Chains A and B, each alone.
Chain A
Amino acid sequence: MDRFLFLTVDGLTHGAVYSAFALALVLIWRGTRIVNFAQGVLAVATSYLAYTVTGRSGSYWLGFLAALLAGLVLGAVVERLVMHRVAGAPPLNAVIVALGLVLVVQGVLGMIYGNQYLPFPAPFDRSAMTVGGVPLVSRFDLFVFGTVVLLMIVLALLFTRTAIGLRMRAAAFAPSVARLLGVRVGRMLTLGWALAALVGALAGMLVIPTGLGLHPTAMDTVFVSAFTAVVVGGLDSPAGAVVGGMLVGLVLSYVAGYLGAGTAPLAVLALLVVVLLVRPAGLFSGPQARRV
């Protein structure tokens, strides 16, 4: 039972990060119908910036802030300079461009920082605190969980309580109608990318300290897990992304804990296949229109 509790808490903590990352993917999908395969590498790039800033200033939090700001700027720049040019083109174009971006950014990061794993600090102690005699949760886990919950609340307020959120949703759901109502759709899409990259940067800062360290491919497996979370929850559903992320986190934790870490990737794939077979649009998808 102790082990089960530990694995559940561990799964939820990792799942929270997958949820945040999945949310970033959903933000872009809803606005542009593009699965941003470059999401992971953008997060890695911002983490490298945080690494540099932290190294030079000696302040983790200055690096943390730099990563978030860089995410915001990088997302906007990528949308304006790269993805904007394939908007309206066949979907495969955007996928290929995003994959190309992954290769370019990974290559550039490797050239600047090298291809070895760099130690990435965590702002809080990662050793588990004992609750009722069971080593359960670390301060860093609590920080991760609290940050992701705060992020969810802020995003929910942004989209449901502010005019800019309303405009962003309108631009995503019905761009041509939104334009007729004075919404600057292009700006909203850029803002959506910026916001998604900021969320991705945050997820990177939360998950990289729990892995081997900083590396140009550090977010690849996280991306796969988050992508699975999005498919499980439904590409159009922010709530689905959150639940999907938690589910993937729990599955990974239980399988790694009971069957061995080597089997965890297979479990994620199995989950992906089951959802695609049983409910291809995701667990939280709305009713699908059928043209007759």
Chain B
Amino acid sequence: MSSSDPLTRSVLADQVKEWLLEAILSGAYPPDSRIVETAVAKELGTSQAPVREALRGLEALGIVEIAPFRGARVRRLEATELLEAYVVRCTIEVLGARLAMARLTDDDIAGLLAIGEQMQRAADASDGRALAVVDASLHERIMELAGNRTLLRVWRSLEPISRTYITLAGPGSDPQWTAGLHTPILDAIRVRDTDGVIRAIESHFEEIRDWLADHLAEVVEQQAAGASEREESMSAGRTHD
């Protein structure tokens, strides 16, 4: 395995990107903290090239910003920015759902309903982390079934920003509420009711937007508090599971 091979390099960069995203979401790199290429490369035992590429990928997602000669820094997201991303994500998901509904096979529907059951189990177990993963995979699966690769790519570019705040605000949310937001979507998918699916997705996002608007002030404070603790968390070292 040579790190100069572009394919290997790109797969490795994707793994580093996911690792960094997880680290940012977990609060190990709070807003405004610097991400030092050499430090990450050393921690992961890779060269700097995939780390640099991963950081550029996160920059494209709006998660970090890279300044010439100063390196990468975790962006402090404005509350309005997140709400804007939700408006666009809702638009993309409604389009994706409409395209997907016209193409769904019975197996596709069974697969989506199975994800719904997994979501309910995660909620019943109060496993917030599993719930977040299954939640994202349900939305992503619908976008995949739309059969429009650009739509999927755009959706994937918007999703991490929404995840940032969901994770930050997560502890205050009720798992049953989160799982319940998806029940009307799945019910409408089961009976192939396209308009019902679209209405359910729109109200899913409206509920989240309302909830976020109520909780954002709190989230912003959490972020500010996190930033002041970053020196300790950076020097304490972390392991990735």
**Same complex origin of A and B:** no
Q: Which residues of A contact B (CB under 8 A)?
A: none
